[in-house]
């Protein structure tokens, strides 16, 4: 399908009737013991939303001003086709990276190399395999977040990458079985927001661009792109209300924008029945207007489903450029050139795309961070010599230079993994001395993949020890230290005995060895795991998302067999998220339980550091461990629930995911969010809260400047014909025309059919700024980050050894629809035995605010707000009320927070109720114009467009 045909076919309105959904999908989209909906009726079946146009143009806010000035000078020199080249990938396997846009040879501007992953450089050799996001998050350590980002960015830079496709805060982890949760940090917006901000800063300090992803509501793998193996024709729709969007899913993206992320990747799913990469509300209104994002929006690979519509809705770069992998056709490329020439995409919109991309280049100083022969690798082969254009099999040359870019990162990786290890139970069994008479190691998770650590493409199997999940978020291991070999080295260094049974099903051998360990007073260490990944790979019938929350590879039976005979069983779990431990956690023969996460290449060394006390565990769980799957408040949709149309994933639980859901449902977790033990103990005392004088909150007002244009566009189509001196590469995406006739060059039989694009999309006049936005710097209204209070408390190490503690600050915002507590700050502190340290944390205006759907701004409700400090979400011994009497609590104008009520069940705009009076603006791809006389409501949000 050509570009214009796709646009025109999708332009036909597909009006969905608002119908009651059928019975709950399997498994239930909301768990059986939950109240449905828990909070907000705005997350509704077949939800739609208003459009938001025009696409805001970047202005160089904050510290982007110098980068914008350089980008404007550069883009002013470009021709139309050169600008299009910046925006469009050359096609899958067209060049050496997983994504490359077009070059501008005339000015010496090379193609940009976009390369996975959020834990290392994918598809090449002599790089490091870092711990996954979920493991680094468990350190709760800002310095380590930053260092890991810097180390990864340095390796990408030295391999010649321009954009690292990471970090990840979407998925945030709405459902515990979500396949890609491990690529992100935690199902909490504040922990994820701090982690992503520090990671972005680290990556970009290394001199490359970060691409924060996946924006937004991408919370499961099933149906993310529709299509096979089912008959579903459209990607799943994440139906999210305005409050939930702001208070949960958008929160960490705001932190990434404020940290200066150069790029954001739009996701595969739909948001309220409009594709994420052409959703004008999420891209134009939320990201570029409210958050003031100055970088560029890049599509996920084949996540673009239209041409003109995605451009007008705010997308800036298409990856990998072709409609389908190796199709040779593109929604942009030639068709974007045509769209500018025929006026369906205004020049200022194309110029803004180009400015944003080039500004990102200057913002991280890519010019000063180049390497020879970049990129120095090929994503398609590890051979030294192969084809430059892999799919076309053209230009045979040296494609891999096998540069070793690992530097001294192994030591950091070992430290990251050890400090992200969480001790969940310890009855005095740990730390081991290394002098146990007999140590027995059980389970395939302790050993090597029989095919080698990289023997399964993109880690698409669960063989041997689990050190990362599967999919595009992976990297090749330069080596993988297994737990068995590291423990064996430790034991042998002490002259003791070690044996193992790594066959998970060798029951007789397991039992015999376990019995002997008990007889001689030794230690049994059982390794188990649970895996997941991206949906294009299926492992043991798990289509990305986990089918259940149980241990893999017979793990529960392995633990049962060993504990039946061994009275000192230590369980070590490498998992992508929570698993059900109810069958063994309280077994008296289970003397210790460790969550070792996804530790990367130094797995064995890191766990040995913990087991033998070389590192005192200080990690804290970044998710809740429930006794049953039914306690989590949300689940994956595994079966189509809307016929062949987009499955409807109603986020009816609102902000109540993970620990918030457990609190809401009065469920008692086995191990709560934020929980983790140490080889020492800590106490808390002396809570102090100091109020600060902050300026009154002022909603942003005023207008933007007019949309600028750079250079001129010739209307002579002959100027854009394919150059005679270029030899075409098969399936390669070019910006040139094949004919001076635009319709003939398009080749679309429906070219020039009468169609009205969205109202306002072509308006280049000054546009009003949003109240929650900013004219100062990216990230939203700057006053949101004013510090209102500083909290301090004394933390004392009451044990006998030095250790790390993570004091955590939670707030109760007081409203009837607010969670019991929400995390707002934390720190990781090293404290000597018997000593005390002071925990200090700030509370900002954003921290005490709720989103007001009518005012479309953050407000502080009149409810009493309480601060809590402790060691986990459920161990909060210190508390105090916040005195907000002197704080400006709300913006001027109408508000749904009239003194007594913060009701997140209100999703209405001024003049609209949440019923049929809301105008229907529905299209599967969001190609709609506003009805006559219709203006964007101030508060209604359940997006589309």
Give the catalytic positions in this structure: 300
Residue with tokens 């041409």: 307
Please name the helix (run of DSSP H) or strand (run of DSSP E) that holds residue 222, with its range, or none: none
Cα–Cα distance for residue pair 131/149, rounded to 1 Å: 11
Q: At what angle do helices 251-259 and 189-205 cross, to 10 degrees?
A: 20
Query: Which residues neighbour 725 within 8 Å (Cβ) at sequence distance 6 or greater?
Result: none
Angle at CA of residue 202, ends 175 and 297, nearest 5°: 60
Q: Taking the CA atoms of the chain, what radius of gyration do you get in angstroms?
A: 27
Q: How many other C-beta atoms can be found within 10 angstroms of the C-beta atom of residue 17?
A: 7
Cα–Cα distance for residue pair 529/560, rounded to 1 Å: 15
DSSP string of 478-532, one letter each residue: S----HHHHHHHHHHHTT-EEEEE--TT-HHHHHHHHHHHHHHT-EEEEEEEE--
Cα–Cα distance for residue pair 545/550, rounded to 1 Å: 13
Query: Which residues neighbour 468 within 8 Å (Cβ) at sequence distance 6 or greater?
Result: 119, 129, 132, 182, 459, 474, 475, 598, 600
**Strands, sheet with 682-691, edge to edge from the N-terminal-most edge strand:** 682-691, 787-797, 836-844
Cα–Cα distance for residue pair 768/700, rounded to 1 Å: 10
Cα–Cα distance for residue pair 625/628, rounded to 1 Å: 9
Strands (E), 245-384: 263-266, 270-271, 296-299
Q: Which two tokens stand for residue 537?
A: 């790979």
Q: Which two tokens stand for residue 4?
A: 């214009």
Q: Which two tokens stand for residue 818?
A: 């607010």
CB 257 within 8 A of CB 287: yes
Using omega within 30 degrees of 0 as the cis cutoff, is the peptide bond preceding 375 cis? yes
From residue 756, give the alpha-carbon distance in Å to each of 384, 707, 932.
52, 22, 12
Beta-bridge mates of residue 878: 869
Three-class DSSP category at 572: strand
CB 85 within 8 A of CB 92: no
Q: Sign of the CA dihedral 894, 897, 901, 906?
A: positive
The number of angstroms, rounded, from the C-alpha of 27 to the middle of its chain's C-alpha atoms is 24
CB 484 within 8 A of CB 446: yes
Instruction: Give me the phi and psi of 906, to 5 degrees please.
Output: -90, 115
Three-class DSSP category at 264: strand
**Exposed/middle/buried for residue 489 (C-beta within 10 Å: 0-12, 13-18, 19+):** middle
CB 269 within 8 A of CB 279: no
From residue 924, give the alpha-carbon distance in Å to each of 218, 235, 268, 302, 758.
17, 9, 13, 17, 15
Three-class DSSP category at 357: helix
């Amino acid at each position: 399908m050509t570009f214009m045909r796709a646009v025109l076919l999708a332009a036909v309105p597909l009006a969905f009737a608002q119908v009651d959904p059928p019975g709950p999908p399997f498994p239930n989209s909301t768990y059986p013991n939950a109240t449905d909906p828990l909070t907000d009726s705005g997350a509704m079946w077949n939800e739609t939303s208003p459009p938001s146009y025009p696409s805001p143009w970047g202005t160089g806010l904050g510290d982007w001003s110098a980068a914008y000035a350089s980008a404007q000078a550069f883009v002013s020199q470009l021709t139309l086709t050169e600008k299009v080249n910046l925006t469009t990938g050359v096609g899958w396997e067209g060049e050496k990276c997983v994504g490359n846009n077009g070059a501008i040879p005339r000015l010496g501007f090379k193609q940009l190399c976009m390369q996975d992953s959020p834990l290392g450089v994918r598809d090449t050799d002599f790089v490091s395999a870092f711990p996954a996001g979920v493991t680094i998050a468990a350190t709760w350590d800002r310095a380590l977040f930053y260092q890991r980002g810097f180390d990864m960015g340095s390796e990408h830079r030295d391999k010649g990458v321009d954009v690292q496709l990471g970090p990840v805060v979407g998925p945030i982890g709405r459902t515990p079985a979500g396949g890609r949760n491990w690529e992100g940090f935690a199902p909490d917006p504040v922990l994820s927001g701090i982690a992503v901000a520090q990671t972005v800063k680290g990556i970009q300090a290394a001199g490359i661009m970060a691409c924060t992803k996946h924006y937004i509501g991408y919370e499961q793998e099933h149906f993310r792109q529709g299509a096979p193996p089912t008959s579903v024709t459209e990607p799943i729709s994440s139906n999210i209300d305005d409050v939930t969007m702001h208070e949960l899913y958008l929160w960490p993206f705001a932190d990434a924008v404020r940290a200066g992320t150069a790029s954001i990747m739009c996701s595969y799913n739909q948001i309220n029945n409009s594709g994420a990469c052409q959703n004008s509300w999420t891209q134009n209104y939320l990201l570029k207007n409210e958050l003031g994002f100055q970088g560029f929006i890049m599509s996920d690979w084949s996540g673009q489903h239209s041409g003109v519509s995605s451009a007008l809705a705010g997308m800036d770069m298409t990856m990998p450029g072709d409609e389908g992998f190796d199709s040779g056709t593109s929604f942009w490329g030639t068709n974007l050139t045509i769209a500018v020439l025929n006026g369906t995409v205004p020049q200022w919109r194309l110029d803004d795309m180009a400015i944003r991309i080039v500004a990102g280049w200057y913002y991280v100083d890519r010019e000063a961070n180049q390497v020879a022969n970049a990129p120095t690798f090929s994503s398609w082969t590890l051979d030294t010599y192969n084809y430059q254009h892999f799919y076309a099999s053209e230009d045979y040359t040296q494609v891999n230079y096998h540069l070793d870019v690992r530097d001294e990162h192994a030591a950091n990786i070992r430290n990251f993994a050890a400090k992200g290890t969480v001790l969940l139970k310890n009855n005095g069994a740990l730390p081991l001395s290394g002098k146990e008479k007999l140590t027995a190691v059980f389970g395939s998770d302790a050993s090597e993949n029989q095919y080698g650590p990289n023997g399964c493409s993109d880690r698409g199997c669960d063989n041997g020890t689990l050190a990362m999940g599967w999919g595009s978020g992976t990297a090749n291991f330069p080596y993988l230290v297994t737990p068995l070999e590291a423990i064996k080295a430790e034991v042998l260094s002490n002259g003791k005995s070690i044996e193992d049974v790594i066959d998970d099903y060798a029951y007789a051998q397991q039992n015999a060895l376990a019995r002997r360990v008990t007889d001689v007073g030794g230690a049994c260490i059982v390794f188990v795991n649970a895996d997941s990944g991206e949906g294009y790979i299926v492992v043991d019938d798990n289509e990305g998302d986990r089918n259940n929350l149980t241990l893999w590879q017979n793990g529960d039976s392995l633990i049962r067999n060993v504990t039946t005979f061994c009275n000192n069983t230590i369980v070590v779990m490498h998992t992508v998220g929570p698993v059900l431990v109810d069958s063994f956690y309280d077994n008296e023969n289970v003397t210790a339980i460790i969550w070792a996460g996804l530790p990367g290449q130094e797995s064995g060394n890191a766990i040995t550091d913990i087991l033998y006390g070389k590192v005192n565990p200080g990690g804290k769980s970044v998710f809740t461990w429930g006794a049953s799957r039914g306690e989590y408040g949300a689940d994956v949709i595994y079966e189509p629930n809307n016929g062949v149309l987009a499955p409807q994933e109603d986020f009816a639980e609102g902000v109540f995911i993970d620990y918030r859901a457990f609190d809401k449902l009065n469920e008692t977790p086995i191990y709560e969010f934020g929980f983790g033990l140490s080889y020492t103990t800590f106490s808390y005392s002396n809570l102090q809260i100091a109020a600060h004088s902050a300026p009154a909150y002022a909603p942003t007002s005023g207008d933007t400047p007019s949309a600028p244009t750079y250079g001129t566009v010739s209307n002579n189509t002959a100027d854009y014909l394919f150059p005679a001196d270029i030899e075409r590469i098969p399936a390669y995406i070019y910006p040139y025309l094949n004919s001076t006739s635009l319709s003939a060059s398009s080749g679309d039989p429906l070219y020039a059919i009468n169609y009205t694009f969205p109202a306002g999309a072509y308006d280049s006049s000054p546009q009003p700024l949003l109240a929650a936005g900013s004219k100062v710097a990216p990230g939203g209204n700057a006053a949101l980050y004013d510090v209102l209070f500083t909290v301090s408390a004394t933390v004392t190490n009451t044990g006998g050894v030095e250790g790390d503690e993570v004091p955590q600050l939670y707030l109760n915002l007081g409203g009837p629809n607010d969670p019991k507590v929400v995390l707002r700050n934390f720190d990781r502190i090293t404290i000597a035995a018997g000593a005390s340290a002071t925990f200090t944390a700030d509370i900002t205006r954003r921290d005490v605010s709720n989103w007001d759907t009518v005012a479309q701004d953050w407000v502080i409700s009149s409810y009493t707000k309480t601060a809590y400090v402790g060691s986990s979400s459920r161990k909060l011994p210190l508390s105090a009320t916040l005195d907000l009497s002197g704080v400006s609590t709300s913006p001027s104008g109408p508000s749904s927070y009239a003194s007594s009520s913060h009701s997140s069940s209100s999703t209405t705009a001024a003049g609209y109720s949440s019923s049929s009076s809301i105008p229907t603006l529905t299209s599967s791809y969001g190609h709609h114009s506003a009805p006559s006389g219709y203006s964007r409501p101030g508060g209604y949000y359940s997006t589309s467009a």
